[in-house]
């Protein structure tokens, strides 16, 4: 099962899974790859090798804010 097929199964579960952000992580950087994944229903596209700054950008864009807040031990 590839990522596009997996995404289809996730989306078919309905409810919150219909709009759950899902980012394609792939080494496929050929022309048109990004569009293919976005058109298949992925929220965004992240290519390998992963650039830490791009990963941070996506985490901040798609994770709920409360998941990103630093919790103090105080």
Q: How confident is the model at residue 62 (pLDDT cuts 50, 70, 90)?
A: very high
**Which 3 state secondary structure label does DSSP give 48?**
coil
Instruction: Give me 39's structure tokens.
Output: 């058109």
Helix axes 33-40, 3-12, angle to 10 degrees: 20
What is the percent of the chain where pLDDT is above 90? 78
Supply the pTM of this predicted model.
0.80
């Amino acid at each position: 099962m590839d990522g596009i097929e997996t995404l289809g199964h996730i989306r078919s579960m309905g409810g919150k899974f219909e709009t759950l952000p899902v980012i394609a992580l792939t080494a496929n950087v050929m022309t048109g790859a990004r569009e293919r994944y976005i058109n298949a229903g992925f929220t965004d596209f992240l290519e390998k090798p992963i650039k830490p700054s791009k990963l941070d950008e996506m985490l901040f864009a798609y994770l709920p804010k409360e998941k990103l807040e630093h919790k103090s031990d105080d």
